[in-house]
Chains A and B, each alone.
Chain A
Amino acid sequence: MFITLGIVTISALIIYFEMPQLMKTGETKTIWTFSILLFIGTALSIMKGLNVTIPNPLDLITILFKPFADLLKTVLKY
């Protein structure tokens, strides 16, 4: 509960400090990227705060590269 609140507060603070400046420059790309990233960040942090298991990108990489790792193992016989 508190963690979620804390994270939301931090995100709100970030928006408070960064947005006015960004709006002034009028760069829509930056504003969009900033907002999307901030949203992802807040969402991930809250999910982690609530101990939700998030799929691990390294696991995907492991699946992709395990065959090479095993190949190396058998070839070098270490």
Chain B
Amino acid sequence: MKKITTVILLTLLTFLLSGCWSKRELNELAIAVALGVDKTDDNYEVSVQIVDPGQISSKQPASGRAPVITYTAQGKTVFEAIRKITNSSPRKPYFSHLQVVVIGEKLASEGIEPTIDFLARDHEIRNDFNIIVANKTTAKEVLNVLTPIEKIPAQKISSSIQNSEKAWGSTLTVNIDDLITTLRSNENSPVLTAIEVIGDPKLGIDQTNVERIKTPVILEFSGLAVFKQDKFVGVLTDDESKSYNFLNDNVESTIEVISCPKEGRLSTEITKSKTKIKGKIVNGIPKLTVHIEIDQNVGEVDCTINLAEKETIQMINEKTSNLIKEKTEQVLNTIQKNYQVDNLGFSEVLHRADPKEWKKIKEDWATIFPELEVNVKVNVRTLGVGTIHNSISQQSKE
């Protein structure tokens, strides 16, 4: 008898296990994959890209409805605007699957800290999404573009920024934890990847955008956005962004094009890149040295050189290293003289190298940084030349 009672009691207990106080059934959730925040006059305008699960599922055929819907609302703060979305959305947005947060250019110029506070404080929003800035457009426009191949545009943005970071090196994935650490320090400023809408935005909201072989409207990354503290001040060009990533040890693989001694160009594929920044403070004056170690292969030869000679490889090494050194010094110049913001973490390097001395010069960092002496040393090794020796054009001439 006791056994049966125990079993019955245990079975009854399992009914409590699933719990139903704070339950939200799947069909009550509006899964938000992207969040866009803009500023219009004094109000925040929030755009949420919500997935239509029926259109994404592989089992049911697509019925011509868009795979994602954008809902917009305005409010005095981001939080208020998000709640107001329930006025138009059939369900309350659920943010735990957020892939990307887009911050409009105007809002970014005024400061992103209030938005970031909301993203950090809310318990539903996790820390594994990317944050980007809309360049020359609003976040709303960015979220209103349907993308081919990836049904969910937020997914496209997210994978695109990661792939580009790995294969080309002019973008940067920034998550909220990194952003908060940078924003909280007085000497550092963050950078975010900037995204642009290429083409007429009005055409992007339609399925016709993805029904053609040449998509009229595409989302493209256009370099890194430079911030002063939390205010957006400018964009680095694609090339400059790549050099920035060299300085920040963020390059995994990219291409460099050098010019051959006589005429023509040669492309090298960088397979490995490691940057070490060392700093020291001598007599109250900080000095930094940047060491970049690069491994590369020859990727494409468009000139007449003999790749079989040792000297050629050495020449390629030298030329690439000079080129990268030049480009990094250039971007350093831009950042130091034009923007005058430390977004390379130099302050942290010095802080770690010599905490006592750093404390003394910390206050004057804003004036020290533009004049900071930075030595760039690049060491390039060419390890391979691809699957053929000399280029075809070379062979044919011999």
Asked if A and B form a direct contact in the complex, defined as CB atoms under 8 angstroms apart, the reply is no
